Amino acid sequence: MTTVSGRAATRRKLAINRLRERRPLEPAVVSRFLARYQVPIVEGSRCTFLFRGEADEVRLVHRIFGLPERIPLRRLHGTDLWYLVLELPDGSRVEYQLEIARGGRSERINDPLNPRLAHSPLGSSSVCYARGYEVPEWTRPDPESRPGSLVELTVPSRALRRACRVTLYLPARFRRIARYPLLIVHDGGDYLKYASARTVLDNLIHRLDVAETIVAFVYPGDRPRSSRWSGSSTGTAPPRAGSPTGSLSAAASMSR
């Protein structure tokens, strides 16, 4: 991603606006433009989303609160380049896809110009990092944090009429004679796989942000994954609203 400092961004026109002023605007000029920048182009608080290709319409599909769910891109006259400029808060992270309409049909795809992807139980989506975004340090392994352990269990359930798989997180200093709060996490496998749940718990407990806690990651039975985001011809979909890691952190905080 190409990021321009806030001061420089106020002095210069946006990259896409400088491209619009070029004459003649030949395909080679567009190709050189795309080779120069990483997409989305971040210039101060403004992010430029791009798509190159023949289409009737192109829309940005996202979950940004307060904005329409689908925002149309504009076609740069005389080219096959589409663009959209959005102002994003500093430090924000946006997951999105592009909806391409051709001949009365549409498909939803990840941004082919952006290699950054986020993965969720429902598929993958492209990611845009606004100015100043940093991966939360409490989601990364801390060499000073003692790792807890994961224990696999099978628990019979009369109510569900099946045996339930449970992955039990035990804090690093777990003692059988001690009493601990219990946090139950539904769809637990997703939190372990996609939200770095074990690392988050290790860090929160090490930093005394939450009490030493036993966490039961409960797995669902056989059921289809359903979402209004599903059904794209590419099989990809933006993840559910909200951050699994953030939800886990909030739930763990309540267990103190």
Query: How high is the pLDDT of residue 236?
Result: 38
Instruction: Find where tokens 């050189």 sit.
Output: 32
Tens of pLDDT, residues 49-89: 999 999 999 999 998 888 999 999 999 999 999 999 999 99
Other C-beta atoms lying within 10 Å of the C-beta of residue 236: 21
Answer yes or no: is pLDDT of 164 > 80. yes
Six-digit token string for 117: 């992807």
Other C-beta atoms lying within 10 Å of the C-beta of residue 222: 5
Contact in structure between 171 and 212 (CB atoms under 8 Å): yes
Can you say whether residue 231 is alpha, beta or left, with left for phi > 0 and alpha for psi between -120 and 50 degrees? left
Nearest to 149 by CA among 128, 125, 114, 174: 174
Segment among 85-99, 145-159, 218-232 with least mean pLDDT: 218-232
Domains of the chain: 3-134 (2.60.40.10), 138-253 (3.40.50.1820)
Which is more confident, 252 or 39?
Answer: 39
Tens of pLDDT, residues 181-201: 999 999 999 999 999 999 999
CA distances 110 to 7, 54, 155, 248, Å, are 32, 16, 39, 27
Which is more confident, 225 or 138?
Answer: 138
Instruction: Kindly state the helix (H) or strand (E) to which residue 105 belongs, with its residue range.
Output: strand 105-109
Query: How high is the pLDDT of residue 221?
Result: 77
Alpha carbon distance 137, 167 (integer Å): 25
Burial of 91 (0-12, 13-18, 19+ CB in 10 A): exposed
Nearest to 102 by CA among 120, 80, 77: 80
Q: Is the peptide bond before 24 cis (omega within 30 degrees of 0)?
A: yes
State the number of CA atoms in the 13 A half-sphere of 247 facing the CB: 15
Global pTM exceeds 0.75: no
Query: How high is the pLDDT of residue 7?
Result: 52
Query: How high is the pLDDT of residue 11?
Result: 62
